[in-house]
Structure 1
Amino acid sequence: MAGSPYSLENDTFAALMLHGCIVLVKMMALALYTTTKRFANNSFVSSEDVLNKDRESRKEALVANENVERVRRCHLNDMENIYVFLLMALLYIGTNPSYGTALLLFRVFSVSRILHTIVYLNAVPQPARSITFMAGYGVCCYMAFCIMTSVL
């Protein structure tokens, strides 16, 4: 009986673990960056976060700030895409793909998400953000196609 595809003995799974960790750590960093931006811009979402301020300051601190919202939207976009990638990649590994192809897909996704964050946070004009998004989305679509064709 062959070993499990979900073992560190499988180079493809090990590659997914590395690239999955990279994009998850990047996403975790964005969560901390959001908090940093909230304090730097005095912009909070919960009233208990501003209880030590006077009434007027509380109102101002509870108004959305574009600098904070940009980071928050970038973080939300990561959550919408990285979790899908991780689940899709786990299913994809179950199809026993070639290591070279899988590694290329994992690398493209990781780089696309890192570039997406850089482009988004720096407000680079379109179509830069769309291109970086579509590269990662295309990886997920390709893996979905491979999974479906292998089981049908």
Structure 2
Amino acid sequence: MQQISLENPVFATYVIASAIMVLKIMGQGWMTVYRMLKSDSGLASPEDLRQTLLNRSPRPEQLEVNDYVDRSRRMHRNDLENIPGFWMAGFLFVMVSPPLWLAQVLMYGFVAARAVHAVGYATRQNHEFRATFYTIGSLIVIFMALYVLGVVIF
């Protein structure tokens, strides 16, 4: 069976998990824009203070940090720091033909960890709560990378 085929259930698992993570990253970007528009604040760059159709009355305070907007921006940055590693390690993991049950536990476990992390961030849970789910996702990615190395080297 070819590894990169939807007939391969491990690859199909990877495709589903990866597509969900694409939606998470892109959705978080849109959430930041929504929060900027809703609060009329949290703009990121001085040039954003130009008068436009969406910013009819620009004001210098629109550049001040707004936690409502910045929280979403931090969530987006966190996704961009973590999800690409999953995509790479997950793809390599598919290539070494792991057992389906292991791929599902790890890949869907990563998606679940990122989802709980996002809910924790959005609901202002403390650092230890968020760090717990960051750690779970991170350990999953590290495990997949080590598994790949183990198969390739040994």
Q: Same fold (TM over 0.5)?
A: yes
Work out whether residues 20 and 86 of structure 1, in 8 Å CA contact, stay in contact via their aligned partners in 2.
Answer: yes
Match of 1:24 in 2: 22
Distance (Å, rounded) in 2 between the aligned partners of 1:30 and 1:69? 12
Which stretch of structure 1 is more off in the superposition, 96-105 or 36-45?
Answer: 36-45
Q: What residue ranges of structure 1 are gaps of 5+ in the alignment?
A: none
Residue 62 of structure 1, CA deviation: 1.3
The alignment of Structure 1 onto Structure 2 pairs a total of residues equal to 148
Name the structure 1 match of 2:35. 37
SS in 1 for 2:71: helix
- Partners of 1:23 and 1:114 lie apart in 2 by 9
Query: 1:82 deviation in Å?
Result: 0.7
Name the residue aligned to 1:64. Answer: 65
Counterpart of 2:46?
47
Amino acid at match of 1:45: A
Between the aligned residues of both structures, percent identity stands at: 28
Counterpart-to-counterpart distance in 1, 2:113 and 2:131: 10
SS of alignment partner, residue 69 of structure 2:
helix
Q: Is the 8 A contact 2:71 2:122 kept in 1?
A: yes
Out of 2, 5, 14, the residue aligned to residue 4 of structure 1 is 2
1:84 aligns with 2:85: yes
User: What is the CA RMSD across the aligned residues, in angstroms?
Assistant: 1.3
Confirm or deny: 8 A CA contact 1:109 1:139 kept in the other structure: yes
Q: Distance in 2 between matches of 1:6 and 1:51?
A: 48
1:126 aligns with 2:124: no
Instruction: Letter of the 1:70 partner, please give it.
Output: R
> Which position in structure 2 is the counterpart of 1:151?
152
TM-score, with structure 2 as normaliser: 0.91
Residue 58 (structure 1) shift: 2.3
Could you tell me how far apart the structure 2 residues matched to 1:85 and 1:94 are?
14
Mapped partners of 1:135, 1:73: distance in 2: 19
